[in-house]
Amino acid sequence: MTEAKAEGSEPTRSLHFIHQIIEEDNKTGKFDGRVQTRFPPEPNGYLHIGHAKSICLNFGTALKYGGKCNLRFDDTNPVKEDIEYINAIQEDVRWLGFQWDALFYASDYFEQLYQWAEKLIQDGKAYVCDLTAEQVAMYRGGLDPKTAKESPNRNRSVEENLDLFRRMRAGEFPDGARTLRAKIDPRAANINLRDPVMYRILHATHPHVGDKWCIYPMYDWTHGQSDSIERVTHSICTLEFENNRPLYDWYIQQLGIYAPQQIEFARLNLTYTVMSKRKLLELVKNKYVSGWDDPRMPTLCGIRRRGYTPEAMRNFCERIGVSKFPGTIDMAWLEDAVREDLNKRAARVMAVLKPLKVVIDNYPEGQTDELDAVNNPEDPAAGSRKVPFSRIVYIERDDFMENPPKDYFRLAPGREVRLRYAYFVKCVNAVKDDKGEVVEVHCTYDPETRGGNAPPDGRKVKGTIHWVSVAHAIPAEVRLYDHLFAKENPDDIPEGQDYKVNLNPNSLVTLTDARVEPSLAGAKPGNRYQFERLGYFCVDRDTEGKSLVFNRTVTLRDSWAKLEKAQQKKK
């Protein structure tokens, strides 16, 4: 190894293959050093985490190279698209933290596209076909070109084609009666080149251009030229469009217009969820979830409601990288990304999810203490607050065990623990109901441990648990979320079954009897907190007036839970 690292030189961070291509293009002057990308969603559904990867890539690339990135709706199919989606998509892109240079609609180019179509007809490069959809499929043959044959209408005269096409536009024919097809090669090895359909007849109202058209261009006839019109340099898209690139190139070449460079990358797959728009729509429509923004959904509005931050999302997209390998990323990465972000910024508070009453026998009745609690140990500027303490407190049910294993550090008969920020308490006895369930625990406290400090005798406790004062606590509803699907790969299903058999029946557990510390009074929807020792939570939009509703964004890392699980496995 030579002295590769010159002193003072920046360690060069490695570029993924797309940025390598761009830097190479900039070096050779292919696009005069210009970099322009775009995010081109179809407004037929809500954006999901997979789109976030594309958004971060496209907008991030423009930002990195001082270029432009537009938002363009590829709205070529009015029967599936809707203004609801157009609005939601814009909101989601903004939430992620990006601002487009221009907002376009592919439908803005419909007239230009139509003119270009007439030009191809004039040049003998397109023809009107009378075959039905089924017939077209049959004539096109299977994957093997040997089974293909050409359309009987392939050699119509230019005049007849032009006349028919104009009458298609004029609305003379019913839906599906005819199509305009590119005259390329009926027996091409690449099936996309076997005289693809350019226009279909669709008497439908378009969400953006209304009833202006009754013929609509196919995506393939629209996408490349739209990029060309906008002068996109690097047209970044997902792998499945590799097969279509030769077709886009053909159109651009026949038209003799500016040619962007298409680069394909692998779309994002995540464990324990589905990303297909069709499936997400089905989950919403058939009420498997409460809506597009159900916090269990991988939609951007869903994870937003769940409490994820845009910073965490962008960081996640940065970390997973960009390549052409269609792998699946472990959901744990996403969770790690939010934890990392929220750890630095979320205020710590105490909340008891499943309350168990603790009476401190030797604490004076009617007395209240105001104890200092740190708001965020990761951020001294966050300051501190007062938390009220009194004779009866709630602790977490899971923090008491009558017959605990050795490595259980929490409260148990005869054991002493620290109540966070308050006192050491020692369990005297537990009171049970007729069913044998512990309903109340009695403790004594040590006044010398006020503030949670160790007593003069140097006594130590292994566990510190959280609590709220019964007299001061605020009731709250807490929604605990888990993976939407019970299997890493929801599509891993038994013969003849459906992916929905893998839905996780415990993906939502609602706790209606939680208590939170009084400082949370007046918390607003969207506010994020760390409930100490439990996880990160945010105030849900269902919160109204006094009734607080929290969503669990993600649990804290829990080495005790891990231990428990491991021990259960041993048994």
Residues annotated as catalytic are 42, 267, 277
Q: Which is nearer to RNA, 16 or 432 (CB)?
A: 16
Smallest distance from the beta carbon of 96 to RNA, in angstroms? 20
Smallest distance from the beta carbon of 384 to RNA, in angstroms? 11
Write the Ramachandran bin of 44: left for phi over 0, alpha for psi from -120 to 50, otherwise beta: alpha
Q: Which is nearer to RNA, 27 or 287 (CB)?
A: 27
Burial 278-297 (b: 16+ CB within 10 A, else e): ebbeebbeeebbeebbbbbb
- For 131, phi then psi, to 5°, come to -65, 145
Q: Which is nearer to RNA, 74 or 293 (CB)?
A: 74
How many CB atoms lie under 10 A from the CB of residue 316? Answer: 24
Contact status, residue 409 vs residue 462, Cβ threshold 8 Å: yes
Q: Which residue has the tokens 């041993």?
A: 570
Smallest distance from the beta carbon of 245 to RNA, in angstroms? 7
The radius of gyration of the chain's CA atoms, rounded to the nearest angstrom, is 31
HSE-CB for 71 with a 13 A CA cutoff = 17
Q: Which is nearer to RNA, 144 or 513 (CB)?
A: 144
Coil vs helix vs strand at 401: coil
One-letter identity of residue 442: H
Helix extents (H) in 464-558: none
Smallest distance from the beta carbon of 149 to RNA, in angstroms? 13
Q: Which is nearer to RNA, 294 or 415 (CB)?
A: 415
Contact status, residue 537 vs residue 553, Cβ threshold 8 Å: yes
559 to 17, 532, 566: CA distances (angstroms): 38, 15, 10
Smallest CA-to-CA distance from 397 within 413, 410, 388 is with 410
CA distance 138 to 133: 9
**In sequence order, which residues have a C-beta less than 8 Å from that of residue 435 and are 6 or more positions away?**
none
Smallest distance from the beta carbon of 404 to RNA, in angstroms? 8
Smallest distance from the beta carbon of 219 to RNA, in angstroms? 3
Q: Which is nearer to RNA, 69 or 465 (CB)?
A: 465
